[in-house]
Amino acid sequence: MKTLPLILLTVFYSAAAGDITDFSGTWETTYGTLFLRQDGSSVSGHYTLEGYSTIEGEVGADGRLVFTYTEQSASGEGWFELSDDSMYFTGKWRPYGTRQWFDWEGFRAGSGVASSNWLVILESEWQASMTEEEYSFGEMLASWFARVPGVSVRHRFIHDVDDLSAFCLESSGLPGNLYLVIASHGTSSGIELSSGTVSSREFTDALEPCRNLAMIHFSCCEIMAGRTPDAIVSSRRNWPEGFLVSGYTHSVDWGASGIIEIYYLNQILENGLAPVDAANSVIEDIGFAGESSTRWMERAGFAWVTP
């Protein structure tokens, strides 16, 4: 008989249709943290145990989620039921071929976390070979905003679309407003990772579970000159009020982007401006940020789009 797994599980937010019970979100459970997404009555997700493991299920008319799980060396079935306030679940699971059921309980992650704003920085490796010193733009931003009360900062490196999707999925369960910064080389075709260029379709697919997004900023050259920003905005109809996508239409100087982004994000996260007001303040207050070069600095082409 399979022994009780120490599973990392986390559950992720998406709107459920009608009165269907919504199991999406982030949960701390008997066996760790589980990741789930719900589309109507269908639920899917994954967790890390013996490699990549999956969970699939359906929510019935009685509000119970009946699921199956698949691991590299085992699989089984189970069910969850939500509390009336949707903050807690109880349930059971068992491996196929056995009769004994095991208890599985969980509560929504972050219910005790004071932070209402999350700055998540996903960054590509900038250096291309051992001849270059290692450096990180995202670590600079993370260190700066770690000092701001009410803001939790997470900085992670991404190398391919799978990394991007995994961290977006995890970010979708953070309990508050998600301010997402993508720091990488870029062109009008998309962000550049070590695995290649991320297409607009791949990017919007990665963002799909993130229903807590307040804004996305591309700390990348030329992204705003391509179709990725418009593809993001048009990928769904129910963006939260004030949502925007920002970045640069031109190649931007390292120092210029540092000044612009600390000022821009500081206006939002510390001074409490709405993203669109903060974006306008960048153009008004920083001479080279928009489409006009100054004596000392080429134009950055800072721009944004809204739904």
Q: What is the pLDDT of residues 284-298, one digit of tens each?
A: 999 999 999 999 999
258 has a pLDDT exceeding 50? yes
User: In the predicted model, what is the mean pLDDT of residues 239-264?
Assistant: 95
Last residue of a domain, one of 87, 108, 129: 108
pLDDT value of position 173: 72
Q: Is residue 277 part of a domain?
A: yes
CATH number of the domain encompassing residue 196: 3.40.50.1460
Same domain, 235 and 143: yes
Same domain, 221 and 121: yes
User: In the predicted model, what is the mean pLDDT of residues 229-258?
Assistant: 94
**0.75 cut: is pTM over it?**
no
CATH number of the domain encompassing residue 88: 2.40.128.30
Q: Give the chain's domain count.
A: 2
Same domain, 102 and 163: no
Q: Which of 65-69, 127-131, 220-224, 233-237 has the lowest mean pLDDT?
A: 127-131
pLDDT value of position 7: 38
pLDDT value of position 213: 93
- What spatial distance separates the first Cα and last Cα of the chain, rounded to whole Å? 53
Same domain, 104 and 224: no
Q: Which of 131-140, 155-164, 171-180, 233-242 has the lowest mean pLDDT?
A: 171-180
User: In the predicted model, what is the mean pLDDT of residues 241-267?
Assistant: 96
Q: Is residue 244 part of a domain?
A: yes
Give the domain extent around 47: 25-108
Last residue of a domain, one of 108, 134, 152: 108
What would the 3-class secondary structure string for 138-196 be? HHHHHHHHCCCCCEEEEEEEECCHHHHHHHHHHHCCCCCEEEEEEECEEECCEEEECCE
**Confidence band of 19 (pLDDT split at 50, 70, 90):** low
pLDDT value of position 9: 39
User: In the predicted model, what is the mean pLDDT of residues 48-77?
Assistant: 86
Residues 6+ apart with CB under 8 A from 106: 9, 11, 27, 28, 29, 30, 34, 80, 88, 89
Same domain, 132 and 184: yes
Q: Is residue 242 part of a domain?
A: yes
User: In the predicted model, what is the mean pLDDT of residues 193-203?
Assistant: 94
The C-alpha atoms of residue 56 and residue 69 are separated, in whole angstroms, by 6
250 has a pLDDT exceeding 70? yes
Share of the chain above pLDDT 90, in %: 63
